[in-house]
Structure 1
Amino acid sequence: MTGTDVTDLAEMPGDWQRALAVVAHPDDLEYGCAAAVAGWTDAGKEVVYVLATRGEAGIDTLAPDVCGPLREREQRDSAAVVGVDTVEFLDHRDGVIEYGTGLRRDIAAAIRRHRPELVVTLNHRDTWGGGPGAPWNTPDHLAVGRATLDAAADAGNRWIFPELVEQGLEPWGGVRWLAVAASSTPTHAVDAGPGLDRAIRSLLCHRAYIEALTDEDPEQYVRSFLGMTTSQASARFGGRPAVTFELFAR
Structure 2
Amino acid sequence: MTPQRLEPMPGDWQRALAVVAHPDDLEYGAAAAVAEWTDGGREVVYLLASRGEAGIDTLPPEECAPVREREQRASAAVVGVRTVEFLDHRDGVIEYGTGLRRDIAAAIRRHRPELVVTLNHRDTWGGVAWNTPDHRAVGRATLDAVADAGNRWIFPELGEQGLQPWDGVRWTAVAGSDRPTHAVDATAGLERSVRSLLEHRTYIEALTQEDPERYCRTFLTGMVEAAAEQFGGRPAVTFEVFAH
Shorter-chain TM-score bucket reads over 0.9
Please, which of 209, 213, 219 is the counterpart of residue 219 of structure 1?
213
- The residue correspondences of 1:126-137 to structure 2 (distance < 5 A) are 126-130=123-127, 134-137=128-131
Runs of 4+ in 1 over 3 A off after TM superposition: none
Please, which of 34, 39, 42 is the counterpart of residue 36 of structure 2?
39
Partner of 1:138: 132
Partner of 1:101: 98
- The residue correspondences of 1:172-183 to structure 2 (distance < 5 A) are 172-183=166-177
- The residue correspondences of 1:47-196 to structure 2 (distance < 5 A) are 47-130=44-127, 134-196=128-190
Cα drift, residue 32 of structure 1: 2.2
Structure 2, unaligned runs of 5 or more: none
Contact preservation (8 Å) 1:32, 1:122: no
Report the secondary structure of 2:28's partner residue. helix
Please, which of 208, 221, 224 is the counterpart of residue 202 of structure 2?
208
2:8 equivalent to 1:11: yes
Report the secondary structure of 1:19's partner residue. strand
TM-score, structure 1 length as denominator?
0.97
Cα drift, residue 7 of structure 1: 1.4
Amino acid at match of 1:83: G
Amino acid at match of 2:8: E
2:231 equivalent to 1:237: yes
Q: For residues 138 and 32 of structure 1, what CA distance do their matches in structure 2 show?
A: 16
Q: For residues 233 and 39 of structure 1, what CA distance do their matches in structure 2 show?
A: 17
Cα drift, residue 233 of structure 1: 1.1
Partner of 2:193: 199
Amino acid at match of 1:199: S
Contact preservation (8 Å) 1:55, 1:71: yes
Q: For residues 215 and 161 of structure 2, what CA distance do their matches in structure 1 show?
A: 45
Please, which of 9, 15, 23 is the counterpart of residue 26 of structure 1?
23
Amino acid at match of 1:117: E
Q: For residues 222 and 91 of structure 1, what CA distance do their matches in structure 2 show?
A: 27
Amino acid at match of 1:239: G
Q: For residues 24 and 245 of structure 1, what CA distance do their matches in structure 2 show?
A: 17
Identity of aligned residues (%): 79
Amino acid at match of 1:232: A
Report the secondary structure of 1:155's partner residue. helix
Q: For this pair of structures, how many residues does the alignment match?
A: 244
Amino acid at match of 1:136: W
* RMSD of aligned residue pairs (Cα, Å): 0.6
Q: For residues 32 and 123 of structure 1, what CA distance do their matches in structure 2 show?
A: 11
Deviations 1:184-234 (A, max 9, x none): 000000001100000000000000000000000000000000011111110
Report the secondary structure of 2:239's partner residue. strand
Structure 1, unaligned runs of 5 or more: none
Q: For residues 25 and 220 of structure 1, what CA distance do their matches in structure 2 show?
A: 22
Q: For residues 233 and 82 of structure 1, what CA distance do their matches in structure 2 show?
A: 21
